[in-house]
Structure 1
């Protein structure tokens, strides 16, 4: 057994020790830090790190269709079709945030959420983690979007979702991940958890 066959979750293999952290920017959603680290070979390097409070995303299914929102994404310079999502508020449980975001962005409420998993969006430079949930048995209600949030709610079949991926209208990891989870649900009758 080599040293690389160890338990990945507990392995400090290639750990970088932080010597200094400089705060560069602190915004409403993210902050930017530059860390000076000691590498495993003893040399030093710098790491630019985006800090994020974490987020949730909801794969909401209504009448065999995935509820989506279309909104303009300034960093991409275009509109995107995505599942409802948003950042965690300080001290907020991911499940509570998922319910809140679903209602704010789509008007739908749900009593039942299934946690499909959590994933890091860009671990090479950011600590953002997204907690992905599935929601069925939706109850229609009223949207409560943020005052600077402009979006349109619609619903897609699985075939339409794959067409939107191929066309580049869906191109974010959380929504693509959700589409794959939904396809597994349709094939097996259960969520992939």
Structure 2
């Protein structure tokens, strides 16, 4: 995926009154030592009422004749001003379970129809910086289904996503190559790849 015309042309402070997705917060707290301190952080403001998580990341393993492959995405991310390689992911809608959100987001972003298998506990991206959290959902993709032969993603007007897959056994080596090529790696993907490498190392 080429970055094409995508680029940052300016940055400036964002007043809370203009923020649609998040806000900056100063929290006053008492530490374990009894001392009162302050902490500045960001909060996501889009979490649906009644939900305890913001979104999902999807692990979709495709069974191909050449072996198992993991489904990935390339997407330009303005905060980084780079193309990022990521797992399919998205925010949960009101009333959705993590499993429902994962199946919906996968269909919208990649065109693949899937069934949810297992779901992780809630995970926090960067707990010292923000309260954003998510669940990882493993899904099953039946490659024999007609709808998984002729893919029809349902991208929004401002979404430009390249979908691709790589062999699961090569994922860590590919991550190393992608970084050398100038891509940014999403932490969820890189952590998953590193976990596979460590599991191989210790024969788990």
TM value normalised by structure 1? 0.73
> In angstroms, what is the RMSD of aligned CA positions?
2.8
In 2, Cα distance between the equivalents of 1:93 and 1:25? 30
Residue 36 of structure 2 is matched in structure 1 by 44
* Match 1:178 to one of 177, 183, 192: 192
Structure 1 runs (4+) deviating above 4 angstroms are 23-26, 180-187
| Equivalent of 1:137 in 141, 147, 162 | 141
* 1:128 paired residue number: 132
Residues 24 and 34, structure 1, Cα contact 8 Å, conserved in 2: no
Cα distance, 1:173 vs. partner? 1.5
Cα gap change, 1:27 to 1:173, in 2 (>3 Å): same
Distance 2:103 2:80 in 1: 27
Consecutive unaligned residues of structure 1, counting only runs of 5 or more, are 1-22
The alpha-carbon distance between structure 1 residues 179 and 117, as it changes in their structure 2 partners (threshold 3 A), is farther
Counterpart of 1:20 in structure 2 is none
Report the number of matched residues: 166
Match of 2:9 in 1: none
The question of whether the paired residues in 2 share the 8 Å contact of 1:106 and 1:153 is answered with yes
For residue 130 of structure 1, report the CA deviation from its aligned partner: 1.8
Contact 1:170 1:176 survives alignment (8 Å): no
Q: Which residue of 2 aligns with 1:81?
A: 85
Alpha-carbon offset, residue 26 of structure 1: 6.7
Instruction: Indicate yes or no: 2:20 matched with 1:28.
Output: yes
For residue 101 of structure 2, give the secondary structure of its aligned residue in structure 1.
helix
Q: 1:155 to 1:107 in 2, by over 3 A?
A: same
Instruction: Summarize the Cα distance change of 1:170–1:159 in structure 2 as closer, same or farther, 3 Å threshold.
Output: farther
Matched, 1:70 2:74: yes
2:156 match: 146
Distance apart, 1:28 and its partner CA: 3.1
How far 1:38 moved relative to its partner?
Answer: 2.9
Query: Matched residues in 1 for 2:20 and 2:99: separation?
Result: 22
